[in-house]
Amino acid sequence: MERMRRRILALAGLASAGVALPGLSRAAGPRDGARLKIGIVGSGRVGGTLGAIWAKAGHRVMLSSRDIEHDRALAARIGPNASAGTPREAAAFGEVVVVSVPYGALPEVGKALADVIRDKVVIDTCNPFEGRDGEIALWAREKGAGLASAELLAGARVVRAFNAIGHVRMGEAHERPGQAGMPIAGDDARAVDLAARLVRDIGFEPVLVGGLAMGRHLMPGTPLAGERTPDEIRRIAATLR
């Protein structure tokens, strides 16, 4: 068990990557008034950027990665709504858990955190890349990233989001809220609703493109990749299977 824990800490996130902390124009709470506890497993560029914005919007965020000192420093920079812990502590802390790790780490993450993510809403930001992730990326692309993530994170209520837009744009969307769309995919209606609320707090308008089977289209290199308006996303999604 200790060996697995060390491996998770080694794989979870790109903690050494720098994260630019976005400044919010106002010290406002979440747009719907509901403050949540969010555990982030993988506090690299994407996870760290999302965590910073959510914390500044009033949510409580626990950051985790392979380097807890990195996470403590990042949490201190973000402010009082942010804290740091191990991946297991972050997953247990969160009412919502964001998994933002290299896709090759998902099998270990799913096994090590299975008991604490069961029945929780898990936002999957991960994308499978063959060059980085190896054979599991080939399997995930053939199966479809949404269905593959749900299998690897068994028991969780998985929603795919934040997969096809770069972290820099994620850190800027709050400046012009609602103008850009964010495609999301999920099978659990309540999980989708909760994820959509958090998408709005980042500054995007969530667009449900379908169930997890449609998650195969939420990654770089697909027609839904890149920044688009909500209407453009809906038009493109209507042509996909």
Query: What does the pLDDT look like over 78-119, one tens digit per residue?
Result: 999 999 999 999 999 999 999 999 999 999 999 999 999 999
Spatial distance between the Cα atoms of 108 and 90, rounded to a whole number of angstroms? 16
* Strand ranges for the chain from DSSP E: 37-41, 60-64, 82-84, 96-99, 121-124, 157-160, 181-186, 205-210
pLDDT at 135 over 60: yes
Residue 1 is predicted with a pLDDT of 42
Residue 241 is predicted with a pLDDT of 82
pLDDT at 10 over 90: no
Amino acid identity at 56: K
Structural domains for the chain:
7-14+32-237 (3.40.50.720)
> Are the CB atoms for 184 and 149 separated by under 8 Å?
no
Q: Does the global pTM surpass 0.75?
A: yes
Sheet holding 181-186, edge to edge: 82-84, 60-64, 37-41, 96-99, 121-124, 157-160, 181-186, 205-210
Phi then psi dihedrals of residue 189, to 5 deg: -60, -40
Phi then psi dihedrals of residue 13, to 5 deg: 95, 170
Residue 75 is predicted with a pLDDT of 98
> How distant, in Å, are the alpha carbons of 8, 62, 103, 210 from that of 112?
8, 18, 15, 29
Please give the structure tokens belonging to residue 90: 């972050």
pLDDT at 148 over 70: yes
Task: Work out whether the CA dihedral 15, 21, 27, 28 comes out positive or negative.
Answer: negative
